[in-house]
């Protein structure tokens, strides 16, 4: 098996990848993550996942390189990471009683053969009605300012949901493991 490397600085993605019990390293790709004019959310995450994987190809010429990127969208508008309390509060107020779509782009590049598998894995979160008091208590408790959508589904953020819809709940955290296993199997990797 070619060595596996995760093209990401995300601790969340590293923690997810550890679930597969495969040895891997990680490195942060240095790419421009701006959307292109007219680019849909799905096109954006697929392009960025691919670009992240290719950003490490030269320095890791005989590796399987995993790239991933995620955006949240409300009514078709891309929502980024809030980075601070006021933006997080506004994101959650906007999502109250509504559905937020998460699109996660995933790429697995074999840098030896230059074969790259790419997919977009959707997942939808249906929010409860949230008042400002509940939102403020949640934000104070978890401070999810580095998370698209302003919540951590693997933590207390789950209490904000009415329901979820999707094939792979790990895609919500940023690395769709079910689809990744399919890609790894296509590359002949034995998953324990």
Question: Could you say which DSSP state residue 160 is in?
Answer: G
> Is residue 69 flagged as an active site residue?
yes
Rg (CA), the chain: 17
Cα–Cα dist 5/3, whole Å: 7
Out of 15, 30, 32, 69, the active site residue is: 69
Instruction: Could you list the beta-strand ranges (E) of 35-167.
Output: 64-74, 77-79, 99-110, 115-127, 161-166
Query: Would you tell me how many other CB atoms lie within 10 Å of the CB of residue 15?
Result: 13
Under the phi-then-psi rule, with left for phi > 0, alpha for psi from -120 to 50, and beta for the rest, what region is 13?
A: alpha
Catalytic residues: 69
């Amino acid at each position: 098996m070619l060595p596996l490397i995760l093209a990401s600085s995300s601790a969340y993605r590293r923690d997810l990848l550890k679930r597969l019990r495969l040895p891997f390293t990680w490195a942060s790709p240095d790419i421009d993550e701006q959307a292109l004019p007219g680019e849909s959310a799905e096109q954006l995450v697929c392009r960025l996942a691919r670009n992240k994987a290719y950003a490490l190809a030269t320095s890791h010429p005989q590796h399987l390189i995993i790239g991933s990127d995620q955006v949240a969208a409300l009514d078709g508008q891309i929502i980024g990471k809030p980075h601070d309390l006021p933006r997080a509060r506004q994101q959650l107020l906007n999502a109250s009683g509504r559905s937020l779509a998460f699109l996660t782009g995933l790429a697995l590049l074999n840098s030896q053969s230059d074969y790259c598998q790419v997919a977009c894995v959707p997942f939808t979160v249906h929010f409860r009605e949230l008042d400002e008091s509940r939102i403020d208590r949640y934000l104070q408790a978890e401070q999810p300012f580095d998370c698209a959508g302003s919540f951590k589904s693997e933590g207390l953020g789950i209490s904000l949901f009415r329901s979820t819809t999707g094939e792979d709940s790990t895609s919500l955290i940023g690395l769709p493991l079910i689809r990744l296993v399919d890609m790894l199997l296509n590359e002949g990797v034995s998953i324990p």
